[in-house]
Amino acid sequence: MANKRMRKLIQNSQRRSTREESSNRGVDHENESQDTTSHSPLELQNEEVNEQDENEIMSSSQAQKRKRGKTIMRDIHALHPDHMLVVKFNERGHPYGDLQSTLANFIGTIARNGVVLPLSFLDWRKMPTNRLNDAWKLVTARFCISNCHRRVIMQMMGAAWRRWRTEVKATSYDSNTPLEELVAIQPIPHGLTLQT
């Protein structure tokens, strides 16, 4: 998909540059007599090679462009337990303020952590309580949140886990691959059972 977009951008920029060149040529030649000399095949070939070189340079520079990766929140995970972040909650129990996005991003990192919340469960509601408690402890170790807000935080975490599970399945799951082959590639972690 990204390659298709790149090609389209390159094509559009080439079209724009040829239009600009042709319009500039028209303006330059309005006051002068028309040039009837034709370009030799060698000159045309050199122009084509130059255009190809420009395209290769453009595509290589675009290929080297860094993409934004997954949010890791290293600074929050590295916080000392004595330095907890205080999150404000509104009357409905939802977080707001400056740290709301930080909390949401941190919850997303926990939801993507397969050790804490594995993707082997088909439904968030079937996630074992001890796993949910571990995830809650990770949140309360970094953020000052009372237990009365646990329900909202766990709802946010469940939504993030479902989004992550959907993304992983869309990018790396093939329904034609037999279950035995999938288990051979990535064994089921100790203490978990295979649910079908």
The pLDDT of residue 37: 47
CB-count exposure of residue 113 (10 Å: 0-12, 13-18, 19+): middle
Q: Cβ–Cβ contacts within 10 Å for residue 64, how many?
A: 7
The pLDDT of residue 46: 53
Instruction: Compute φ and ψ for 85, nearest 5 degrees.
Output: -90, 135
The pLDDT of residue 28: 47
Q: Which residue in the block uniquely carries the two structure tokens 């809650």?
A: 136
The pLDDT of residue 183: 75
* pTM of the predicted model as reported, rounded to 2 decimal places: 0.60
The pLDDT of residue 4: 60
The pLDDT of residue 16: 56
Q: List the chain residues with pLDDT less than 70.
A: 1-63, 187, 190-196
